[in-house]
Structure formats: structure tokens, C-alpha cells
């Protein structure tokens, strides 16, 4: 259940209750695609860096180790020892990312495993069964993420099919969570809005899926080729038609500036692989902008990554030491860098919440929206 606490323009301060805890929003969800954060972070680490929601992927866990195995181990929470809320992506994005390997039909999608090439079929019912086996708190609808640019005719047909798939998802998940041996009887389904950057398709699709009265809704199919301006315009176009009493989730976005701008436009939930992926290549986020720790100027720099940061890494280690770890190709380099970047993103949304609580979000946006994506001067 979503509760809106405060409103500043379109920006919303709220909280969302799940079977595994209440989430303060806006929130950044930490992406553990295969039930682990790439870079060597555990569930204990996630607690230390302020993670509220962990996100895992239906397709990847179905392929390896198998959703039935995870169900037999007590569900994803017990399997990875994370006691907070979990959201599972439906596998729909893999339709987009594995485009060379798949065939889309009304019943679902046929494609080959990226691991061993075996044939896999996934439709709405299969996606819901897998997510029910995982026992996440929020299950995302099975949809198609259309790349941008895309022909309008294709997007329109895809949107219509996604509406039909969503109705099948709702029926299937209701059935699975009602079973006596359900891993998480409180698991809920969120719908996903699609339509590329065609605003009229977006609006129509949002109106159609809102009729199903689901507990939450996402804006999908962005950050897949459009400009930032197109993304912001699309969010603004569809936000007006999203239920006011339900959380809004912008899938797969993005930079710190993207998050600030999307909050400004009424979004509550975010996820992105960017902070962890960039960290593994020594590209770090700070309150002064971005930095690349492999730069020679940090070779003898005794300062922490960010003197304004209180993460476990910045409290203990110098830029010089982390640069050495990267140059020596030590595994610890990735772990420490990922820990810092995810802490930064978690703190970013914490500071956004604080600004909304204090009625100062407009000032926060002016100060940080552009700065955080620029290169730090020092």
C-alpha cells in the first residue's frame, strides 16, 4: 500500500508497505540481477550502505540456478539472506536485450538461453510462476520493451499485446499466491507502461492498464535510445494519467541527474546498473561530480573518494589506495568502488527525501541536477 506524505509540485514524498518492510520513497533499488551485486557485495553489505529494496531478474534466476531450486530453498529472501523488500523484473527486458535470439508471438516469447543455448519459452503465466517461486514482494508484469526508434505501427501492436499479457499476468499471479504452499502470499503485481516516445500511445496504454487497478505502475521502455529530453517529455506526458494513490517506477534509469529530474516529474522508484557497472571501471560518483580513479593525478592523493561521503570506503581508504587496487587489477578494487557508488545512490534518494520533507527540493534540484553528472574538478 502506498501513502503519499508530502507533495512539492509533482515531486512526491511517500512510503510503500510490503510484506518485508516499509519503503521510504523516492527510493533507488540496488540491482542484484542474479541474487548478488556484481562487484562482490552481500546482503549484509547492502544493509550497511542503506539499501531499502533489492532487485533481481526473473529470466536470469530461471536459467541459473532455477526458480524451482530457489523455491525449495525457501524463496529468494532466504536464499540470499536478504530480509528487506525484493522486486523482481519479469524478464521482459531480456526480450529487448536478447533480440537476436527471440521470437515474439501472442502466447509469449521463444528464445535461446544466453548461457547454454537451450530453447526457452516465457509468457505471462510462466513469468508469474517463476516470480511466485522466487517469492519477491513486487512482481513486474511480463511485457515487451521496444527499442527506440521503432515504427509507430509496431509500437501500437506491441502495446495492445502487452495489455492482453497484463490481464493474463494478473490472473496467473492471483492463482499462484492463493495456493497453500505459496512462497510469499503477499506478493503483488505492478503493471508497466509502454509506447516508446509516442505520447498518445503512452497515454492510451496507461489508461488501459490503470483499469486493472494494480498496486503500482512502472514506466518502461525508456533509456533505450532516446534523448534525455525525449525521456523527460515522455515521463511528463504519461505521469498525468498515472494513479495518484499508487507508486510510480521508472525502469532502468539512470544518472543522478536523471533521477532528480524524474522525481521532479512525479516518479517514486528507480533502478539502474549504472552505479555498479561504472564502479567496476573505476568511474565513481561524488557530490562534486564524477571521477575516474585510474587518472594519474590520484596516484598520491591521500583524500577519500569524496570528502562529503560517509560510506564505509570513504571512512577508511584513500584515492591513492583505490587507484593502486585498480592498476594492480585486484578484486578488492571493484568491491570497494561498487560499495561507494551504491551508497552514493542510496544517499542521493535519502537527501531527496529530506529535501522534500523540508520543502527545499526545488533548491536541491537547482544545485545538483546538472552538477552530479559532470566531471569533478579535483
DSSP string over 28-85: EEEE-TTSSBTTTB-HHHHHHTT---EEEEHHHHHHTT-HHHHHHTT-HHHHHT--S-
Looking at residue 25, its pLDDT comes to 99
How much is the pLDDT for 114?
A: 78
Q: Which residues are catalytic?
A: 89, 271
Report whether 236 contacts 265 (CB < 8 A).
Answer: yes
Residue 182, SS3?
Answer: coil
Residue 339 and residue 305 in contact, taking contact as beta carbons nearer than 8 Å? no
pLDDT tens, N- to C-terminus, the chain (378 residues): 999 999 999 999 999 999 999 999 999 999 999 999 999 999 999 999 999 999 999 999 999 999 999 999 999 999 999 999 999 998 777 766 765 677 889 999 988 887 887 888 899 999 999 999 999 999 999 998 888 999 999 999 999 999 999 999 999 999 999 999 999 999 999 999 999 999 999 999 999 999 999 999 999 999 998 999 999 999 999 999 999 999 999 999 999 999 999 999 999 999 999 999 999 999 999 999 999 999 999 999 999 999 999 999 999 999 999 999 999 999 999 999 999 999 999 999 999 999 999 999 999 999 999 999 899 987
Phi, psi of 61 (to 5 degrees): -75, -25
Number of residues written out for the chain: 378
What burial class does residue 283 get, using C-beta atoms within 10 Å of its C-beta: 0-12 exposed, 13-18 middle, 19+ buried?
Answer: middle
What letter would DSSP give residue 227? -
Q: Is 9 in contact with 362 (CB distance < 8 Å)?
A: yes
> What CATH number is given for 2-272 in this structure?
3.20.20.105
The ranges assigned to domains in the chain are 2-272, 282-373
Amino acid at each position: 500500500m502506498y501513502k503519499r506524505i508530502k507533495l512539492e509540485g509533482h515531486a512526491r514524498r511517500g512510503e510503500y508497505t510490503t510484506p518485508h518492510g516499509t519503503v521510504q520513497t523516492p527510493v533507488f533499488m540496488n540491482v542484484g540481477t542474479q541474487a548478488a551485486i556484481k562487484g562482490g557485495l552481500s546482503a549484509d553489505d547492502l544493509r550497511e550502505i542503506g539499501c531499502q529494496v533489492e532487485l533481481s531478474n526473473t529470466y536470469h534466476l530461471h536459467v541459473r540456478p532455477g526458480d524451482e531450486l530457489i523455491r525449495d530453498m525457501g524463496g529468494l529472501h532466504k536464499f540470499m539472506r536478504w530480509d528487506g523488500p525484493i522486486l523482481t523484473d519479469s524478464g521482459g527486458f531480456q526480450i529487448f536485450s536478447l533480440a537476436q535470439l527471440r521470437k515474439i508471438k501472442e502466447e509469449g516469447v521463444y528464445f535461446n538461453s544466453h548461457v547454454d543455448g537451450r530453447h526457452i519459452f516465457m509468457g505471462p503465466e510462466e513469468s508469474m510462476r517463476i516470480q511466485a517461486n522466487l517469492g519477491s514482494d513486487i512482481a513486474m508484469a511480463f511485457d515487451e520493451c521496444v527499442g527506440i526508434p521503432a515504427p509507430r505501427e509496431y509500437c501500437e501492436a506491441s502495446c495492445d499485446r502487452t495489455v492482453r499479457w497484463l490481464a493474463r499476468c494478473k490472473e496467473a499471479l492471483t492463482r499462484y499466491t492463493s495456493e497453500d504452499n505459496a512462497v510469499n502470499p503477499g506478493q503483488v503485481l505492478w503493471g508497466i507502461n509502454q509506447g516508446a516516445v509516442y505520447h498518445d500511445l503512452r497515454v492510451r496504454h496507461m489508461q488501459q492498464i490503470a483499469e486493472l487497478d494494480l498496486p503500482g505502475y512502472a514506466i518502461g521502455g525508456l533509456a533505450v535510445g532516446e534523448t534525455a529530453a525525449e525521456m523527460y517529455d515522455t515521463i511528463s506526458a504519461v505521469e498525468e494519467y498515472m494513479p495518484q494513490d499508487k507508486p510510480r517506477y521508472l525502469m532502468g534509469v539512470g544518472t543522478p541527474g536523471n533521477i532528480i529530474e524524474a522525481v521532479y516529474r512525479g516518479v517514486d522508484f528507480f533502478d539502474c546498473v549504472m552505479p555498479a557497472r561504472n564502479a567496476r571501471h573505476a568511474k565513481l560518483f561524488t557530490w562534486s561530480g564524477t571521477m575516474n580513479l585510474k587518472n594519474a593525478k590520484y596516484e598520491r592523493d591521500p583524500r577519500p573518494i569524496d570528502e562529503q561521503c560517509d560510506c564505509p570506503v570513504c571512512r577508511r581508504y584513500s584515492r591513492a589506495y583505490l587507484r593502486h587496487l585498480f592498476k594492480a587489477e585486484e578484486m578488492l578494487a571493484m568491491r570497494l568502488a561498487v560499495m561507494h557508488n551504491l551508497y552514493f545512490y542510496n544517499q542521493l534518494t535519502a537527501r531527496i527525501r529530506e529535501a522534500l520533507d523540508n520543502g527545499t527540493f526545488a533548491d536541491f534540484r537547482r544545485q545538483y541536477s546538472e552538477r552530479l553528472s559532470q566531471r569533478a574538478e579535483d
